[in-house]
Amino acid sequence: MTSANNERKGPGFALFGLATGAAAGLAGYAVVELWADRAADERGPLTVFAFLAAFTAAFLLLAERKRIAWAAAPALAIAGVLAIPTWFMLGAAAPEANLNEFPVRFWFLIGAPLAAYVMTTLAKAALEEGVPPGYSTVFFHGLTLPLIYAGASLFAVLAILLLFAWAALLRAMNVDFFHNIFQEAWFILPFSGAVGGAAIAMMRGLESVLGALRFILLLFCRIAMPITAVFSLTFLLVLATNGPAPIFEKPYPAAIMLALAFAGMLIFNGVYQNGEGGPPPLWLRVSSIAALIAFPVYAGLAAYALWLRIDDYGLTPPRVIGLAASGLAAAYSLVCLAGLITEARWRGERWMPLVGQFNVVMAGAWALVLILLATPLLDPWAMSAKSQETLLRQSRISPEEFDFGYLRFKLGAHGTRVLERLAAIEDHPEAALIRRGAEKALRAENRWAYENDGRAPTPAPRDRADRPGPPTDVEDLPLNPAEPGERDARPESEASHP
């Protein structure tokens, strides 16, 4: 691993973090005061907010006491790269866009944090070693940066909670001054930035704590690896005995298989560590081999489960993202294969030497794919709209079963353009039905109107006198509704015994 000296910081660095965070908070307040309150479109101010947060965090994580200026350029690059998909996804989040919300949630909850983490790790290693960085340095910072960020987030949240608790206590004693100040953007934004910046800087200085946390994580991986191996071998045995059909009968089989694959990948890398040492003890080495053998099976089952759904029902935005994750899992299967091949040299001095080199490439691939999925280059809504149109045109689904409303209200402008083409279709055996469905979706103003043939929702009764009385029969209960005329047509003896 890299020398820990690079992470040791004195009190001066904590003050630097505090000042940097406060400056970012002041810049955020300027965005609110001079732009956000007057802007018709909130995407610009929100994107700048995200840019400031990403730049500040990356800058404080990359900076060194004697090389602070060197961190500015990569931090700006990371924040700028993340700002592009953030702008795109904020537009997709607007209610009037009529887009499926899954890619937006995925970007802000998983894609953006993971891409920022990977890019910051690679930049940190490159600043120390040059380009391309060695896997040992990448692994060290890849393990350390999440610990710094998690600890800093905890410190910052606790500080803000204590501040508001103190203000609430004083307010209970009839001192409202501090409570009122804490509600003002000119105070809370710079204060939050200063606390966050100081927390990152101070967490970076706690090398003994970070070392202990790294040890615990790596120890957990060594303990978890035999358990993972036993589970994997049992799974493979049952799979060979019963076949994959029971897996595909469960909800979200692809997501489950991918979760198992990536969990095994993280545990294996915790055992492999920086790739500089020799083979581990025999029990751990054999367990790792078993986990590597199972990984391509998980990846293959996930890809096949997705293919079955896509073949029957076409692409949707969640399936596009699932397809990308399956592609990354398939790529990592090659890393597993490379590691297994090197085990042919059982008495080699280094353990699976190719794995470390491939891991650096895979880190870059993860960041690239996550970012592209949040841009028009791999637009999940556009890809889904095209897939749904192909599904219908090729008669792989009938017009009666096809959801034209999904195109209109979940795939936005891309779906609307498809509907316009379908509304003018002529060269199809069921062209009339397709045109009718497309026109109905284009006429509807919202999803409810589409599903209810344009009828307005029935308003709730305002007057107590207008409300229906209590049900007098079990068949009148909402949990067991009867179709019109159904009760009259049933025999009297049957009607009395629900």
Q: What is the DSSP string of 444-478?
A: -SSHHHHHTTTPPPPPPP-SGGGS----SSGGGST
pLDDT value, residue 457 = 57
433 in any annotated domain: yes
How many domains does the chain divide into? 3
Query: Do 369 and 390 sit in the same domain of this protein?
Result: no
| The two structure tokens encoding residue 442 | 């284009």
Q: Tell me if 93 is assigned to some domain.
A: yes
> Which pair of tokens denotes residue 252?
């979200």
Q: What is the pLDDT of residue 211?
A: 93
Q: What is the pLDDT of residue 10?
A: 54
Nearest-10 crossing angle of helices 253-272, 353-372: 140
List residues bridging with 411 in a β-sheet: 99
Given this model, what pLDDT does residue 489 score?
41
Distance CA 349, CA 357 (A): 16
Residues 6+ apart with CB under 8 A from 43: 87, 90, 91
272 and 179 fall within a common domain: no
Would 459 be classed as within a structural domain?
A: no
* Predicted local confidence at residue 182, as pLDDT: 84
Q: What is the pLDDT of residue 237?
A: 94
Q: Is 344 inside any structural domain? A: yes
- The pLDDT of residue 6 is 47
Considering the domain architecture, whether residues 173 and 248 belong to the same structural domain is answered as no
**Same domain, yes or no, for 297 and 390?**
no
Question: Closest by alpha carbon to 258, among 337, 319, 316?
Answer: 319
Domain boundary among the residues 181, 205, 229 is at 205
Q: Which of 205, 230, 250 is the last residue of a domain?
A: 205
The answer to whether residues 466 and 430 touch, using CB atoms and an 8 Å cutoff, is: no
Domain residue limits at 392? 380-451
Q: How far apart are CA 20 and CA 14, in angstroms?
A: 10
Taken in order 91, 92, 94, 97, the sign of the CA dihedral is positive
Position 422 in a domain: yes
Contact 70, 58 (CB under 8 A): no
Report whether 331 contacts 318 (CB < 8 A).
Answer: no
Would you tell me how many other CB atoms lie within 10 Å of the CB of residue 494?
9
Q: Do 165 and 177 belong to one domain?
A: yes
370 and 390 in a common domain: no
Q: Which amino acid is at 283?
A: W
Q: What six digits make up the tokens of 35? A: 């732009």
Q: How far apart are CA 165 and CA 185, in angstroms?
A: 18
Would 491 be classed as within a structural domain? no
**Distance (Å, rounded) from C-alpha 295 to C-alpha 233?**
11
Give the pLDDT score at 241: 92
Same domain, 50 and 107: yes
Q: Are residues 41 and 114 in the same domain?
A: yes
Given 205, 226, 241, which residue is the final one in a domain?
A: 205
Tokens of 410: 């979940």
265 found inside a domain: yes
Judgement on whether residues 57 and 113 belong to the same structural domain of the protein: yes
DSSP 482: -
pLDDT on residue 481: 45
Please check whether residues 82 and 142 belong to one and the same domain: yes
Tokens of 341: 């091949």
Residues 434, 319 share a domain: no
pLDDT at 139: 95
Q: Does residue 492 fall inside a structural domain?
A: no
In this prediction, the residues of the chain whose per-residue pLDDT falls under 50 are 1-7, 464-465, 467, 472-498
Answer yes or no: do 47 and 121 share one domain. Answer: yes
